[in-house]
Amino acid sequence: MDDLHIGVLGIALVLLIGCSAFFSSSETGLMTLNRYRLRHRVKAGDKAAQRTSKLLERPDRLIGIILLGNNFVNILASSIATIIAIHLMGEAGIAISTIALTLVLLVFGEVAPKTLAALHPERIAFPASAVLGPLLKIFYPLVWLTNTIANSLLRLFRVAIETSAQHHTLSAEELRTVVLEAGVMIPKRHQTMLLSILELEEITVEDIMIPRNEVAGLDLEDDWEAIITHLTQSPYGRLVAYRDTIDQAVGFLHLRRVLNLMAQKPDFNRADLEGLIREPYFIPEGASLTRQLVNFQQLRRRVGLVVDEYGDVMGLVTLEDILEEIVGEFTTDPAAVGNRNLVPRADGGYVVSGRTSIRSLNRMLDWKLPTDGPRTLNGLIMEHLEAIPEPGVRLILARHPTEIVEITGNRVKTAVIWPNPEPMKEGEG
């Protein structure tokens, strides 16, 4: 064998190493593509993305043609390297060529191209799809035979073989991680809203409802003068109309409509009032906020009564309550939330009504009080102490110092809660 043939074989060897790098990088690039970005580019009409997506519809065939090509060029490169080594060094060249080619293929045919493809998958995968597509058509019979044998072997071990691309769906926890790791691509406030939407399925109407004893209502059995006084002085936009007890709810009254009719009709009477009552809408306990938000939208309702399995009213939920779980309190200034039972103090603490819900407190102050138990501050204190406390009692709630200020009956009316442990240390001794 003359030097010319050795030179040709040397050039062929270099080309085969290049082909090995191509197949290795193609495999990594195609398998590490961001599927959601790929779908976006497909919908945008990107031809390269469409070509690549079509290849990925059958990953078994794609891997088949890549491995077929990669193994073929590696084996051929090994044979050529052995021929060259024997010609140059004799029998000793076999061992030397094996070691040298292994290192060359490992570095230039595997590690380097795969690392590059992992860092820039789109730059590798899109051009590679233009080559792999025609190769798959040319060698389809061989790929089909290889895949048939391999898939049959997998079925022996009861491994299901997908005939189409997996949809790469994300669980709620995985999607939450994606949102958190988006960094500056998603503003902080938008991140918070997206995370809140993901949590809606885990929150039920009982977690955010106005409890039964705080629902604003109008007893239709009261004296007419008392009813008129209630209607004209009520601070609420809607009232629950009932007879004797709220469990016998008749419906909802929209105060603006009532007051408008009262102004237009001097002889406004009970019949007129009852004519403005809209039939009640009941929500079963345990309903998730996701489901209830859809129900409000479909039924064009804004408020509903939560009932238990016996039909007794537990509380009231409004559309605004659900929206606040997503976007946060419509009023975020603690100094302006007197109606939310939260009053800031000069020492950094907050005077909080015992009936304030834990979720509202966490949302307004960005705290992490436990929400998997009692729903109100009063309930959380009672659970912690396992007794009805006296005024002046101090305790720690999830690292937040708390002092009971006022007790009414068998519940905490008001308490002071601080954001950090420092105030608690002052009174200890």
Q: Would you identify the CATH topology of the domain 201-327? A: CBS-domain (3.10.580)
Residue 56 has pLDDT above 50, yes or no: yes
List, by residue range, all CATH 3.10.580.10 domains of the chain.
201-327
Top mean-pLDDT range of 39-53, 88-102, 166-180, 362-376: 39-53
Kindly state the helix (H) or strand (E) to which residue 111 belongs, with its residue range.
none
Q: What are 387-409's pLDDT values in tens digits?
A: 888 899 999 998 899 999 999 88
Percentage, residues of the chain above pLDDT 90: 43
pLDDT for the residue 330: 60
Query: CB-side exposure of 143: number of CA atoms within 13 Å?
Result: 22
Of 104-108, 118-122, 373-377, give the lowest mean pLDDT range. 373-377
Residue 150, classified by CB atoms within 10 Å of its CB into exposed (0-12), middle (13-18) or buried (19+), is middle
Residue 141 has pLDDT above 80, yes or no: yes
Task: Give the pairing type, strands 238-243 and 217-219.
Answer: parallel
Decide if 7 contacts 84 (C-beta within 8 A).
no
The answer for residues whose C-beta is within 8 angstroms of residue 234's C-beta and 6 or more apart is 216, 255
Stretch 95-103: mean pLDDT: 86
Residue 230 has pLDDT above 80, yes or no: yes
Q: What are 318-376's pLDDT values in tens digits?
A: 999 898 888 876 654 444 444 456 888 888 899 998 888 888 888 788 888 888 888 88
Q: What are 294-317's pLDDT values in tens digits?
A: 999 999 999 999 999 999 999 999
Residue 55, classified by CB atoms within 10 Å of its CB into exposed (0-12), middle (13-18) or buried (19+), is buried
Stretch 200-215: mean pLDDT: 88
Stretch 53-57: mean pLDDT: 88
The answer for residues whose C-beta is within 8 angstroms of residue 199's C-beta and 6 or more apart is 325
CB burial string 9-35: b at 16+ within 10 A, e below: beeebeebbebbbbbbbbbbbbbbbee
Amino acid identity, residue 263?
A
Measured in Å, how far apart are the chain's first and last C-alpha atoms? 98
CA–CA separation, 179 vs 99, rounded Å? Answer: 47
Q: What is the mean pLDDT of the chain?
A: 85
Q: What are 242-286's pLDDT values in tens digits?
A: 999 999 999 999 999 999 999 999 899 999 999 999 999 999 999
pLDDT for the residue 421: 65
At how many degrees (to 10) do helices 112-119 and 121-138 cross? 110
| Confidence at 227, pLDDT banded by 50, 70, 90 | very high
Class of domain 334-426: alpha beta
CB atoms within 10 A of CB 37: 12
Kindly state the helix (H) or strand (E) to which residue 220 belongs, with its residue range.
none
pLDDT for the residue 339: 43
CB atoms within 10 A of CB 308: 12
Instruction: Give the closest residue to 31 by CA, choosing from 61, 63, 64, 54.
Output: 63
State how far the alpha carbon of 419 is from the alpha carbons of 125, 342, 398, in Å.
52, 13, 10
CA–CA separation, 95 vs 210, rounded Å? Answer: 82
Is the pLDDT higher at 335 or at 187? 187
